[in-house]
């Protein structure tokens, strides 16, 4: 009967199984490790515990192993969790009769279980020992052959010798050693072997495992061998196909070099018309390489880009086509040959014909007027630039003939080894085609034929006397690459259009490109946070490429495009990727961008002929060095009159075309357009106006479609009158959209007339503001007196500057309270006499941040109105900075503020005297004719203009006598 005892048992997680004679190392958490240490310290001899495999599906296994605890270590770590490493040595099999009733147990836990030690006495029979020895020897021999390390191979050989020498009684122990040492035995097979108690049963199951593992190893070898054979066959086939492709490419090059040799698919030099353009055949690849070569030869002599391209071409010829570096170099050659280099004569006269036309400026002005309504100052600046471009181009062409070098007569001596076409017969193809083609390429890249050799290639016999050809005398300037006439043109200015969204900044750039007959490219800089997006990545990086500037030049195809750098104020800040704004400094500097260096191209690129146009919504986020390189052009908001013209001329026809209608289908009255602009949009630009007009047009499109389907009338010219439609009692369709129909089409007006219904009350003054999107408007400044201790309370999400303006205004009012009859004595505080009060100043729209000094005079007037009882009329608005002495300082955004006041039907505006020039230059004449402008220098003038002459009583200037002893 087996002996029974209670042991501490450690549950092992799947797929760990501890077999007798084996060692196992694992980690325990703090609870299990602490308990194990307590057991070790409590035991007088070396502690023996039980192990059992624990799986999530079947729970505890009934068979386990009694193991001796060899070592318990707690490593020193920075982690807060304490982990213990233990080492166990398997001794014998044990059986757990209570494993089924143990309940839910987690792995790596110490539990108490009753364990029984089965009896393993007896010797195995010879019928089981012989198959075991044979199967074990075969498996160990196979493992020794597959072992990559010599030490492991020696271990397998030693164990194989031990199997032959060990006695039959020790074979069960040897089976445990081998099964525990094989790592590829499955989890269930190990558990099945662990449950074998008798010697014959253990040997039998071990033999089955060894046969199974030997079979698996043999099958794996066969599969690996077949895969290796297949791969070697594919590599051989790939190598042969590459050789065939190279031979065919060289033969095609030789056939193409002969002027009278037609190709099988068409005329010489023409791409095959059969098949799809997506087919990657050898001929197309050869033609692509020939195109790259021709572009390299077309580059200017001795130029940096030509030297770099020739050097990379030579490297490309030496690298196998299957190499990764081959694709990298070819990609670089495609980029460097596709950039329009200004040193090339191919782009010298790209736009000179248009500039010679006498109607160039007239057509440019006409183009700008057709694309944009208003914006006279911007158009004036652009016409100035175009006029300078034309004059510089004409001046360069006049100076070109006088600067030519004197021609010298030089005999065109042919090269000594040159041969005529008569010698280059088809017999050349009898040699090595590949070496011949490579020789031609090397000759073309390393040797430049003279004028005589060119004449000889064209068919001049060798034995005849070479003609005398005029050749320019060599000068030091001939060593440098010649640049075309375009390089002498005026440098493009860096224009920065600043204005609210929807004011036409991007479309202005397109109009300039059309007026100049140049290609237009747009680069969006919003959110760009990596310097490499401007300068490109270096070629050492994987999947590197040029920056957005070089990509725009490649798309344009000319060295003098119009490039729009959109949203330059939204460029990402400096980070570990670099500073994109700093990278733009070189691009936008006219004194430096003639040698712009892209990290990928790594050759100086001339950007001096490029007309850069930048757009921005504000100037606050643009760095000072970048802003210093730009010529700022302000685009303020449109007036209502300008919006009506833009809607009639541009927006309505555009929406009609986009929605499948003609101008005869829909007509918006002037009053309807004005109502849409004033009540359904509130912006400085026209984007919301365009969306509202588009909604009206789509509504009429639905009406016309339903009417056409019900009546069968498809031609708008056949539409009967409204009276005739009413008589038919069917669906109606009206071409004209009236103002009263807009609420049915667009819904309730988004913007009511709260600005128009202003009230005149004590302590209320209207100031002028500019919103964050560049739109102007009016803002009420409300003040109220409440019981208190003479304090000033400011609310409305105010910034520090506007808070200081409020304190300055109150200080000025206190210092002049006696002159304004607010107090009876100079020493009295108007907030404490006769009754102590607090003044609460509030600016509505509390969720909107407000800051700036321009509300100073409005706050002062509000305080004066509150303390004197006089009211400022509601048709008056004002803006200006106030000083402690009562001086009125200039402010910005005058045009936006005046336009906002005009939209709110304010008829009188009080402005600082220093902003008089801004009104005369920026505010349209029709706006100035409808409004009254009062320019002031001091607060006394402000109060008189705001309250009216004689409304506020001022004490006469009294001489204060001071007694002196």
Predicted confidence at residue 940, as pLDDT, reads: 92
Please say if the pLDDT value at position 411 is more than 70. Answer: no
870 conformational bin, left if phi > 0, alpha if psi -120 to 50, beta if neither: beta
What's the confidence (pLDDT) of residue 838?
92
The answer to whether 400 and 535 are in contact (CB under 8 A) is no
- How many angstroms separate the first and last alpha carbons of the chain? 131
**Structure confidence at residue 99 (pLDDT):** 74
CB hemisphere CA count around 604 (13 angstroms): 10
407 preceded by a cis bond (ω within 30 of 0): no
**Residue 72: its H or E element:** strand 59-73
The answer, yes or no, to whether residue 472 has pLDDT greater than 90, is no
Contacts of 192 (CB under 8 A, 6+ apart): 205
Of the listed ranges 267-281, 690-704, 896-910, the one predicted with least confidence: 267-281
Please report the DSSP string for 492-551 in residue order.
PPEEEEE--TTSSHHHHHHHHHHHHT--EEEEE-TT---THHHH---TTSTT----HHHH
- Point out the catalytic residue in the list 854, 874, 917, 956: 854
Whole-number mean pLDDT of the chain? Answer: 78
Active-site pick, 190, 850, 895, 897: 897
Q: State mean pLDDT over 686-708.
A: 90
CA 547, 549, 554, 556 dihedral sign is: positive
Compute the distance between CA of residue 264 and CA of residue 298 in angstroms, rounded to an integer: 29
Sign of dihedral through CA atoms 171, 173, 174, 175?
A: positive
In the annotation, is 356 catalytic?
Answer: no
pLDDT tens sequence across 609-655: 888 889 988 888 888 888 888 888 888 777 778 888 889 988 999 99
| pLDDT confidence bin for 476, thresholds 50/70/90 | very low
pLDDT in tens, 20-68: 888 888 888 888 888 888 888 888 788 888 888 887 666 788 888 888 8
Q: What pLDDT is recorded for position 229? A: 66
Residue 475's pLDDT is 41
Burial classification of residue 499, based on how many CB atoms lie within 10 Å of its CB (0-12 exposed, 13-18 middle, 19 or more buried): buried
Measured between alpha carbons, how far is 223 from 214 in angstroms, rounded to an integer? Answer: 14
Percentage of the chain exceeding pLDDT 90: 14
| Strand-pair category, 84-95 with 59-73 | antiparallel
Helix (H) or strand (E) holding 605: strand 604-605
Helix intervals (H) in 372-461: 376-402, 433-446, 451-457
For residue 424, pLDDT beyond 80: no
Closest-CA residue to 176 (of 206, 155, 208, 153)? 206
What is 777-796 written as a DSSP string? EEEEEEEEEEESSS-EEEES
In angstroms, the CA 809 to CA 813 distance is: 6
468 CB burial (10 A radius; 0-12, 13-18, 19+): exposed
Per-residue pLDDT tens for 907-918? Answer: 999 999 999 998
What integer is the mean pLDDT of 522-551? 85
**How many whole angstroms separate alpha carbon 315 and alpha carbon 306?**
14
In this structure, is the dihedral angle defined by the CA atoms of residues 901, 906, 910 and 915, taken in order, positive or negative? positive
Angle, nearest 10°, between helix axes 687-711 and 670-679? 130
What's the longest Cα–Cα distance across the chain?
Answer: 141
DSSP 574-594: PBTTB-HHHHHHHHT-TTTGG
Residues present in the chain in total: 965
State the Cα–Cα distance between residues 942 and 38, nearest whole angstrom: 92
pLDDT digits (tens, 9 = 90+) for 768-817: 998 766 677 888 999 999 998 889 999 988 999 999 999 999 999 999 99
Nearest to 891, CA basis, from 910, 864, 863, 908:
910
d(CA 952, CA 943): 8
> How confident is the model over 485-503, as pLDDT tens digits?
444 455 667 888 888 888 8
pLDDT surpassing 50 at residue 412: no
pLDDT confidence band for 279 (50 / 70 / 90): low
pLDDT tens column, 436-463: 433 433 443 343 433 333 333 333 333 3
Task: Answer whether 9's CB lies under 8 Å from 51's CB.
Answer: yes
**Is-catalytic flag, 908?**
no
| pTM across the whole model | 0.58
Residue 754 has pLDDT above 70, yes or no: no
What is the arithmetic mean of pLDDT over 301-310? Answer: 88
Q: Of 73, 131, 152, 61, which is closest to residue 99 (Cα–Cα)? A: 61
State whether residue 161 is helix, strand or coil. helix
- Whether omega before 834 lies within 30 degrees of 0, making that bond cis, reads yes
- Quickly list H helices, 597-737: 624-628, 640-646, 652-658, 670-679, 687-711, 722-728
Please choose, from the candidates 591, 615, 510, 520, the residue with its C-alpha nearest in 3D space to the C-alpha of residue 558: 520
β-pair type (494-498, 611-616): parallel
Residue 430 has pLDDT above 50, yes or no: no
């Amino acid at each position: 009967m087996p002996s029974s005892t209670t042991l501490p048992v450690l549950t092992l997680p799947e797929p760990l199984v501890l077999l007798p004679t084996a060692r196992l190392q694992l980690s325990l958490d703090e609870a299990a490790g602490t308990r194990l240490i307590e057991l070790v310290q409590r035991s007088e001899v070396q502690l023996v515990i039980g192990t059992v495999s624990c799986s999530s599906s079947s729970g505890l296994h009934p068979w386990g192993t009694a193991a001796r605890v060899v070592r318990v270590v707690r490593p020193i770590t920075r982690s807060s969790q304490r982990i213990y490493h233990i080492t166990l040595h398997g001794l014998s099999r044990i059986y757990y009769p209570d494993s089924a009733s143990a309940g839910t147990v987690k792995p790596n836990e110490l539990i108490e279980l009753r364990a029984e030690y089965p009896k393993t006495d007896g010797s195995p029979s010879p019928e089981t020992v012989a198959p075991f020895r044979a199967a074990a020897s075969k498996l160990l021999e196979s493992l020794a052959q597959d072992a990559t390390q010599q030490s492991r191979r020696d271990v397998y050989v030693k164990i194989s010798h031990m199997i032959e020498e060990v006695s039959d009684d020790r074979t069960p122990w040897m089976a445990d050693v081998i099964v525990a040492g094989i790592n590829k035995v499955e989890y269930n097979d190990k558990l099945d072997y662990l449950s074998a108690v008798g010697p014959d049963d253990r040997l039998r199951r071990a033999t089955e495992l060894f046969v199974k593992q030997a079979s698996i190893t043999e099958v794996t070898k066969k599969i690996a061998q077949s895969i290796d054979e297949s791969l070697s066959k594919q590599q051989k086939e790939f190598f042969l196909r590459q050789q065939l492709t190279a031979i065919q490419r060289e033969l095609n090059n030789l056939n193409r070099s002969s002027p009278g040799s037609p190709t099988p698919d068409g005329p010489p030099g023409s791409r095959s018309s059969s098949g799809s353009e997506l087919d990657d055949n050898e001929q197309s690849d050869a033609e692509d390489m020939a195109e790259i070569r021709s572009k390299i030869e077309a580059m200017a002599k001795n130029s940096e880009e030509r030297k770099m391209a020739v050097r990379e071409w030579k490297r490309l010829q030496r690298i196998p086509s299957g190499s990764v570096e081959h694709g990298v170099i070819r990609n670089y050659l495609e980029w460097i040959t596709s950039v329009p280099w200004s040193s090339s004569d191919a782009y010298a006269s790209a736009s000179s014909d248009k500039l010679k036309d006498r109607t160039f400026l007239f057509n440019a002005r006409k183009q700008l007027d057709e694309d944009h309504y208003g914006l006279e100052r911007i158009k004036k600046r652009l016409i100035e630039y175009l006029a300078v471009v034309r004059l510089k181009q004409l001046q360069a062409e006049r100076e070109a003939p006088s600067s030519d070098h004197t021609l010298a007569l030089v005999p065109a001596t042919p090269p000594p080894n040159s041969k005529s076409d008569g010698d280059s017969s088809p017999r050349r193809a009898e040699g090595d085609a590949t070496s011949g083609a490579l020789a031609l390429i090397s000759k073309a890249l390393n040797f430049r034929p003279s004028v005589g050799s060119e004449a000889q290639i064209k068919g001049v016999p060798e034995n005849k006397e070479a003609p005398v050809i005029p050749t320019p005398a060599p000068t030091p300037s001939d060593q440098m690459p010649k640049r075309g006439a375009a390089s002498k043109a005026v440098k493009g200015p860096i224009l920065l259009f600043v204005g609210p969204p929807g004011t036409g900044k991007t479309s202005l750039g397109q109009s300039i490109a059309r007026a100049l007959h140049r290609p237009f490219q747009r680069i969006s800089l919003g959110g760009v946070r990596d310097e490499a997006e401007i300068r490109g990545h270096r070629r050492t990086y994987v999947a590197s490429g040029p920056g957005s500037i070089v990509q725009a030049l490649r798309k344009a195809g000319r060295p003098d495009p119009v490039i729009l750098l959109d949203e330059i104020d939204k460029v990402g800040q400096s980070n570990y990727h670099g500073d994109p704004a700093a990278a733009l400094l070189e691009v936008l500097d006219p004194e430096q961008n003639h040698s712009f260096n892209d990290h990928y191209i790594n050759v100086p690129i001339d950007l001096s002929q490029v007309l850069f146009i930048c757009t921005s919504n504000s100037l606050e986020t643009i760095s000072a060095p970048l802003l210093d390189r730009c010529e700022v052009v302000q685009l303020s908001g449109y007036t209502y009159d300008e919006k009506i013209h833009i809607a009639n001329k541009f927006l309505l026809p555009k929406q009609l075309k986009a929605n499948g209608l003609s101008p005869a289908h829909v007509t918006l009255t002037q009053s309807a357009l004005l109502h849409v602009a004033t009540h359904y949009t509130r912006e400085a630009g026209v984007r919301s106006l365009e969306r509202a007009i588009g909604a009206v047009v789509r509504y009429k499109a639905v009406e016309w479609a339903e009417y056409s389907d019900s009546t069968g009338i498809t031609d708008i010219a056949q539409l009967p009158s409204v009276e005739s439609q009413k008589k038919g009692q069917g669906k109606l369709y009206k071409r004209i959209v009236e103002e009263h129909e807009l609420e049915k089409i667009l819904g309730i007006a988004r913007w009511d007339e709260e600005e128009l219904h202003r009230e005149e009350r004590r302590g209320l003054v209207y100031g002028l503001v500019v919103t964050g999107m560049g739109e102007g408007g009016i803002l009420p400044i409300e003040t109220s007196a409440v019981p208190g201790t003479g304090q000033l309370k400011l609310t409305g999400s105010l910034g520090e500057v506007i808070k200081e303006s409020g304190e300055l205004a109150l200080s000025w009012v206190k210092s002049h309270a006696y002159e304004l009859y607010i107090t009876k004595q100079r020493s009295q505080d108007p907030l404490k006499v006769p009754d102590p009060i607090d003044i609460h100043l509030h600016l509505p729209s509390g969720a909107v941040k407000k800051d700036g000094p321009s509300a100073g005079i409005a706050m002062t007037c509000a305080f004066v109105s509150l303390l004197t009882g006089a009211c400022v009329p509601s048709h008056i608005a004002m803006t200006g900075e106030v000083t402690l002495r009562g001086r009125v300082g200039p402010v910005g955004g005058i045009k936006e503020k005046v336009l906002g006041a005009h939209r709110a039907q304010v008829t009188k505006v009080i402005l600082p005297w220093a902003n008089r020039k801004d009104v005369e230059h920026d505010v349209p004449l029709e706006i100035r004719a409808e409004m009254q402008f009062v320019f002031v220098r001091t607060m006394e003038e402000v109060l008189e203009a705001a309250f009216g002459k004689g409304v506020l009583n001022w004490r006469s200037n009294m001489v204060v006598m001071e007694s002196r002893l």
